[in-house]
Amino acid sequence: MAIKKEPTKPDFPYAQFPILIMHKDGKELKDTKKCYFGSMHYADKYIVKSNFKQKDYQLFIKPGTNVETVVPSIGRKSKQKKS
């Protein structure tokens, strides 16, 4: 009798990163890589950059998160020199 493996629910250890992409990585695709994102914009950008097909990755969104309201971080503004 085969033992069925229950699908694991991913944990989200970082409150500011509610989006998780899991995919195979490494030599012969033996390792599993977890990538956390703060917005769908950056998750989509990573998927396009990595040339993933739908079967190559799993996308998880933290329950209770409205993806449309998740805004990207503003980041640092560099100081411009005055001429």
Domain boundaries, the chain: 19-65
> What pLDDT does 19 receive?
92
> What pLDDT does 64 receive?
83
Neighbours of 59 (CB within 10 A): 16
SS3 52: coil
Q: Yes or no: say if 22 and 32 are a contact pair by the CB < 8 Å rule.
A: yes
pLDDT in tens, the chain (83 residues): 555 555 567 788 888 899 999 998 888 888 889 999 998 899 999 999 999 998 989 999 988 887 665 555 555 555 555 65
pTM more than 0.85: no
